[in-house]
Structure 1
Amino acid sequence: MPALFRLLCLLLGLLLGLLAPAGALRAQPAQLTPAQYQQDFDYFWTTVHENYCYFDKKQTDWARVRQLYAAQLSGINSRAQFVRLLENALNELYDNHANLSTNLPDSRRLLPSGTDVWAGFQQGRAVVVAVRAGFGAERVGVRPGMEIVAVDDVPIEKALRPLLGRSLKAVDEAAREVALNQALAGTHNAPRKLTVRTQHRRRDLYPDKPTAQLEHIRYAGLLASRQLGTLGYIRLHNSLGDNRLIAAFDSALNTLGATTGLILDLRETPGGGNTTVARALMGRFITREQPYQRHEQPAEERRFGVRRSWVELVAPRGATYSRPLVVLVGRWTSSMGEGITVGLESMQRATIVGSEMARLNGSILSFRLPNSSFGFNIPTERLYRVDGLPREQFVPAQHLISGSSGEGDAALEKAVQVLKGGGK
C-alpha cells in the first residue's frame, strides 16, 4: 500500500506539473555570489566606459565612479541593494537617456516620462517652465512661472544635494537641472508635496492626491484625430514604440486627406519609440527619398581612430499628404518624437511650433548584465539634424514659452494660425 500511495503521489505531481502555467515551477534565481556581483559591476562600468558617447559634455570622472561604487560591493547581499548601487552609479552621468531596465518601489521616476512638471534655474531660483497637460501637477494648480521653494518640506537646494553625482569634477548647470527635475518627479511609492511661491505667496500643492496618475498612465488609444474646421488634427498618445500605430496613423490620415492643412501633435510622446514607426509616419508626407538625421558612433573612433557616421533616409510610403503641416512639440516630446520633429524640418516638410523638447541625448543601446536579471540603456550614438545641429540643441522656429497655463492651448492656437496664413 505505501508503494501504491507513493506511485499515486508521483502521478499526481506529474499531472499538476503539466497543468501548471509555463514558468510557474521554474526555480527562482539563486542569490548571486560576491564574485558575480563584482563581474556584473565590472561589465557595467567597462561597457559604459567604452560605449557612452557624451563624456565630453559631462563633468563626470568615470574612473572615480569605479572607485566609489566598487568599494560598496562588499556590502551588497541582495538584488535590491545592487539595483540601487547601479542606479546611483548611472546617475553620475546626469543623463535622462541613461537608465536601468528595472527599478525599486522607491526608485526615482524616469525623466521625462515619469514626471508632470519641468523646472529650470533662473537667476538662482528654481522656476517651473512647463506643466504636463492632463496630469496631477496641472490639476492641483502648478503653473509655469511659479518658483519651487521646497519638495516634501525639504528646501530645494538641500533636496538637490543627494541627487548630484559624487564623482563630478564640478557641478555644472546641466547637473543641477537634472537633479532639480528628479526631485520634482519624486519616487514611485511616495506622494509628492511641492511648495511653490507665486504672487508673493507660498502654497503647498499635492500632485499625487487623491491618486498618483504617473503610476497609472492610461490612454484612450494609440492616437486621437479630428477636424478643426478645414484643418486636420492628429495627437499621438505616447505610442511611437508600438508598430500598430502605423496602421492607426494611416487610417486617421486617410480620413483627413481632404483637409487644407494638418497639425501633428507630438507633445505627449515622452516614452521614445522606434525608427520603423518614425519613418513610416514621415514617409506619408514626402514624394521622394530624403535624409532625415545624421548618426555618429564615437566608440569606433576612440578604439580604432576611424570615424564612423552615416545619414538615415526616409522613403515615401502610401498616398502622400502634401498639404501644409505643423508639428506641435514640448518638454514631453522625447527621443523618437524629437527625431520625427527634426526630420520633418530637415526635409522642409513641416513648421515646428512649441517649446524646447526633452533634449534627450542620442540613440540608446541596451545591454544585459551577465549574472543579474536586468540590463541598462545608454546613448551610444550621437544624433544630428541633417545640417549637423545636435538634436538635443534643436529649438522650434515658432518658439513658444512652455505650457500648460491651464487656460486654453496657446500652442494649438498658434498652429491653427500658421496653417491659416496668419503666422510667420
Structure 2
Amino acid sequence: MKNAALVFCLLAALAAHPQSFTTAQYKEDFQWFWQTVNDNYCYFQKKKIDWNRIREFYRPRIDTVTTRESFIALLEDALYELYDHHCTLRTRNPFSRRLVPTGADIWAEWEGEKAVVREVRKGFGAGRVGIRAGMEIVAVDDVPVNQAILPFLPHTVNRESRSFALRLLMAGDHVHARKMTLKSGGATADYYPDKDGLLLEDVQYPAWVESASYGPIGYIRINNFLYDNNLIARFDSVLNGMLDKPALMIDLRETPSGGNTTVARAILGRFIRKDHFYQKHELYAEEKATGVKRSWEEIVSPRGICYTGRVVVLADHWTGSIAEGITIAFDGMKRATVIGTELARLNGAVDGFELPVTKIGFNIATERLYHVDGTPRELFEPAITVDVRGQSAAKDGDVILNTALGYLRRQLK
C-alpha cells in the first residue's frame, strides 16, 4: 500500500503542472538550467567536467521531449553528469532513482574492477536479507553490474563517477523490487532486499530523538529531522536529562537528508562555553564572476546549560550534509571524538533554483565547505575508523556503537 500511495503522490504532483510544453519552451528551460549550473556549481575544477560539452550532448535530446515527465528524465541524466549526490531535482518520476543516501540502504564503491558493498544501513531491506559489507556485486536484476550502471554513468568516467552510478543502481527506483546477485567467500547467491516491501519509501521513526543509558554513558540518537527547528526543543529535553552523565554518545547515523544550520548551531551550542569557529565557507559564484575569492568562517555560540563530559559522535555513510557539518564541528572544536566509517561525503552547501517555464526545482552545491583545519568537509575522516566488513545489519551487533562504548569506558577508568 505504501508503494501504491507513493506512486499516486508522484503522479498527482506531475498532474499539478501542465504535462507538455513546446520544444522551444523546453529548450529555454534547459539553457537556463545549464547556465545556472555553469555559474553556480562549485566543484567543476575538482571533478574536471567539461560542462560545455555536456550542453552540446543534451541539446539534440530536447527535440525528443514531448512531456514534462520526459523532460524530468532528461534533467536527471544531465545532473548525473556532475556525479554528485548533493545535486538533485526536487521533482521526481515514479521510475526516478531513489536519492542517495536518503533513499539508499547500501553504500557501494568500485575497488579496482570489483563492485563492492562498503556498508549496509541498519533496519532496512538490504540488512534484513543478509547483505553485508565486503560482498562483491555481480549483477542487479540479472544484468551484469558493469552493464547495469551504464544508464547512470556520466561522460566523465573515473572511479568516483563509476561509484556514483553504482550507488544509484543499488538504490533502485520507487516502483520495482530489487534483485541483487552477490558473491561472498566464493559463493554467489541472489538477494531480494525489497521482499518485505519498499521500506525506504516511507521511513518512520519511534521518536525524533531517542535515548538510552549504558551505565554511566548516555546515548542520544538524532533521527532524520535536522531540517526542522522543532528538533531543538526535543534535543534539549533529552540532553537535559543526561547532564549528570560523565560521557555521552551522539549517534548521527540516521541523518542522511541534511538540514539547516540553525538546528546544527543549536545542538553544538550545548557543548561549549565560548564562541567557536566551526566551519569555513567559500562562495563560488562571486569568485567566478569577479576573480575575487569570497570566504568566511561560521561561528557557533554557547546556548543553555553546557554539557561538559566526554563526547563521542557516531557517524557513517548515512551521516549526510548538515550532519557532516555537525560532525566536523565537534571535531574542530575538540569537543568530541568521531568514531565510525566515512561519512556521506556530500559536496558543499546547496542552494535551490526553479526553472522559469516548467517550474521544476533543483538543488546544486554552491558553497565549498571546510573543516576549521582546512580539510574539505567531504574528505573528513573519523578519528577512529571502524571496519564494518562482514557485519550483518540484520543482527543486533553494532560494531560502531560497541567500539565507542569500549573507547569511553577506557577513558572513564
- What TM-score do you get using the length of structure 1 for normalisation? 0.91
**2:385 — aligned with what?**
399
* Alignment match of 2:281 (pick from 284, 295, 314): 295
**More moved, 320-329 vs 225-234:** 225-234
**More moved, 120-129 vs 239-248:** 120-129
Separation in 1, partners of 2:262, 2:99: 24
**1:379 — aligned with what?**
365
* Alignment match of 1:52 (pick from 41, 44, 53): 41
Does 2:278 match 1:278? Answer: no
Query: Structure 1 residue 122: deviation in Å?
Result: 2.2
**1:94 — aligned with what?**
83
Separation in 1, partners of 2:148, 2:412: 42
The aligned amino acid for 2:368 is R
**1:347 — aligned with what?**
333
The Cα offsets for residues 6-56 of structure 1, whole Å up to 9 and x where unpaired, read as: xxxxxxxxxxxxxxxxxxxx9964742222212211110000000000001
The Cα offsets for residues 283-331 of structure 1, whole Å up to 9 and x where unpaired, read as: 0000000000000012211111111000000000000001000000001
Query: Structure 1 residue 278: deviation in Å?
Result: 0.4
**1:83 — aligned with what?**
72
Change (3 A) 1:73 1:201: same
Separation in 1, partners of 2:358, 2:412: 54
**1:265 — aligned with what?**
251
SS at match of 2:78: helix
Query: Structure 1 residue 120: deviation in Å?
Result: 1.6
**1:35 — aligned with what?**
24
Separation in 1, partners of 2:354, 2:80: 18
Separation in 1, partners of 2:102, 2:19: 33
The aligned amino acid for 2:375 is L
Query: Is the 2:18–2:68 contact (alpha carbons within 8 Å) kept by the matching residues of 1?
Result: no
**2:55 — aligned with what?**
66
Runs (4 or more) in structure 1 with deviation over 3 Å come to: 26-31
SS at match of 1:71: helix
SS at match of 1:158: helix
CA RMSD of aligned residues (A): 1.6
Change (3 A) 1:117 1:423: farther
Change (3 A) 1:252 1:298: same
The aligned amino acid for 2:183 is R
SS at match of 1:49: helix
The aligned amino acid for 1:245 is L
**2:232 — aligned with what?**
246
**1:103 — aligned with what?**
92
In structure 2, stretches of 5+ residues that fail to align are 1-14
**More moved, 184-193 vs 58-67:** 58-67
Q: Map 1:23-422; keep pairs closer than 5 Å.
A: 29=18, 31-166=20-155, 168=156, 171-402=157-388, 404-406=391-393, 407=395, 408-421=397-410
Change (3 A) 1:28 1:127: closer
Query: Is the 1:283–1:316 contact (alpha carbons within 8 Å) kept by the matching residues of 2?
Result: yes
Query: Is the 1:87–1:100 contact (alpha carbons within 8 Å) kept by the matching residues of 2?
Result: yes
Query: Is the 2:388–2:399 contact (alpha carbons within 8 Å) kept by the matching residues of 1?
Result: no
The Cα offsets for residues 325-350 of structure 1, whole Å up to 9 and x where unpaired, read as: 00000010010110000001100000
Query: Structure 1 residue 375: deviation in Å?
Result: 0.7
**More moved, 407-416 vs 38-47:** 407-416
- What TM-score do you get using the length of structure 2 for normalisation? 0.93
Query: Is the 1:98–1:379 contact (alpha carbons within 8 Å) kept by the matching residues of 2?
Result: yes
Change (3 A) 1:176 1:30: closer
Give the aligned length.
396
Separation in 2, partners of 1:325, 1:112: 26
Separation in 1, partners of 2:325, 2:146: 34
Query: Is the 1:331–1:402 contact (alpha carbons within 8 Å) kept by the matching residues of 2?
Result: no
SS at match of 2:319: coil
Query: Is the 1:414–1:423 contact (alpha carbons within 8 Å) kept by the matching residues of 2?
Result: no
SS at match of 1:107: coil
